[in-house]
Chains A and B, each alone.
Chain A
Amino acid sequence: MINKLWSFLIIVASVFLIIKGKADVLNSQILSSGKVTLDLVVQIFPIISLWLGIMNIAKQSGLLNKASNFIFPILHKLFPEIPKGHESLGLISSNIIANTFGLGNAATPFGLKAMEELQSLNKNKEVASRSMITFLVINTCSITLVPTTIISLRMMHDSTDPTSIVLPCLVVSSLSLIVGLIIDRIFAGRSR
């Protein structure tokens, strides 16, 4: 699927640009994507290391396990395949909490580590498991209490009430998360 999407994006846009005689734009976009990726990775690298360090303390002291057991009854309904006391549960909840508070750069390392833990439960390492896809849906439909970037953009433009979008955002993202999880369930049932 990603394979088709990727080829589609590149082929359609390239042909379009060549027909319009803008091969120079195409050239610079192809060559600059390496730098764009590197910038992104360089930005994300120290934050990931930092949180992996903190998380390792929580793991070795047993705090992560405790948190997992505490959150287990709730998450078990969404992730029936994850056994009780598994570390991924604590990481999944940390990821959700960080996302909710608009701390995207703390949420990503937790999410990545949670995915790694889910991979350890996965029977076929090349195929996405059901839990992984459910976790992905929770992330893409992320419920955000404070959409920080949009609020600051509104402030920059002298909005009379920069935070007026907070409540509608919360309502819309909660509803879409519920629908997203239902869609996920339907697909999971069909693929079995």
Chain B
Amino acid sequence: MRLIKFISSLFIPFLVLVVIIYGICKKINVYDSFVEGAKEGLPMVVSMFPSLLAMILGINIFTNSGIIDYIFMFLKPLFILIKVPLEILPVAVMRPLSGSFGLALLNEMYNTYGPDSFLSNLTSVIQGSSDTTIYIITLYFGTIGIKKIKYALWVGLLADLVMVIIALIVVPLFF
């Protein structure tokens, strides 16, 4: 674990050094090259803003409306039927929509059940094994101007669902 953290902390400095030294060896004006590349940052950020704004508007209203509590009330009997702990539901459902919301729910869970309880471990793994699918789709496709995303959302959400199922099977083996 310490080794992984060590490698992880060296990754960025190592990458920067290798790129600059290699550039000098190839007789590139590395300074000019850096400045030229960094110039592309602003147009990129400008082109991502509209689609991000749109998605954040939708996600903001939805996550803060409290409607999910009601949706979970309807799903409750189903979950009891298939013997899945109900407490993981909010994180599992909100994970693809909002990273910070999932983290806030996780924080609440640690407060209620303690960070080392089975439920907390299970929820942590669900939170840590996936990324914010909707945000990534919006960010990447919005920035390069894709309008028809075809089956991307389906694959992303299906993979998230599979992840939750795998977590339900795998996590009990560890804790």
Contacts and interface: CB of A to CB of B under 8 A. Distances in A.
A119 B141 CA distance: 10
B92 interface: no
A116 B19 contact: no
A137 B155 contact: yes
Contacts of B56: 33, 36-37, 40
B34 to A, nearest CB: 4
A54 B37 contact: yes
A83 interface: no
Which one of B28, B54, B70, B132 has the greatest number of beta carbons of chain A within 10 Å?
B28
Contact of A137 (B41, B114, B141, B156): B156
Contact of A5 (B48, B103, B153): B153
B116 A61 contact: no
Interface residues of B, number: 100
Nearest to A45: B45
Interface in B53-91: 53-62, 64-67, 70
Given A56-B33, A127-B148, A166-B1, A63 B62 contact: no
Contacts of B132: 140
Given A161-B116, A179-B159, A26 B61 contact: yes
A153 B44 contact: no
A98 B12 CA distance: 9
B154 A187 contact: yes
Nearest to A124: B148
A2 B58 CA distance: 11
A33 B64 CA distance: 12
Nearest to B52: A37
Contacts of A78: none
Contacts of A29: 60-61, 64-65
Interface residues of A, number: 101
The B contact surface, by secondary structure, is helix
Contacts of A147: 124, 127-128
Given A33-B57, A149-B103, A176-B159, A48 B34 contact: no
A183 B165 CA distance: 15
A191 B127 CA distance: 31
A191 B18 CA distance: 42
A25 B62 CA distance: 11
B119 interface: no
A45 to B, nearest CB: 5
Interface of A: 1-2, 5-6, 9-10, 12-14, 16-17, 20, 22, 25-26, 29-30, 32-34, 36-37, 40-41, 44-46, 48-50, 52-63, 97-98, 101-103, 106, 108, 111-112, 115-116, 118-119, 125-128, 132-133, 136-137, 139-142, 144-147, 149-150, 153-154, 157-169, 171-173, 175-177, 179-180, 183-184, 187-188, 191
By Cβ-Cβ distance, the 6 closest A-B pairs, closest first, are A56-B37, A49-B41, A180-B159, A53-B38, A147-B128, A176-B163
13 contacts: A40-B56, A41-B49, A46-B41, A48-B41, A61-B25, A112-B144, A140-B132, A141-B163, A142-B131, A147-B127, A150-B128, A164-B175, A176-B160
Given A57-B28, A127-B150, A136-B137, 18 more contacts: A14-B61, A14-B65, A16-B66, A16-B70, A36-B60, A45-B41, A61-B25, A61-B33, A62-B26, A126-B146, A127-B146, A140-B133, A140-B159, A147-B124, A154-B124, A159-B115, A167-B174, A176-B129
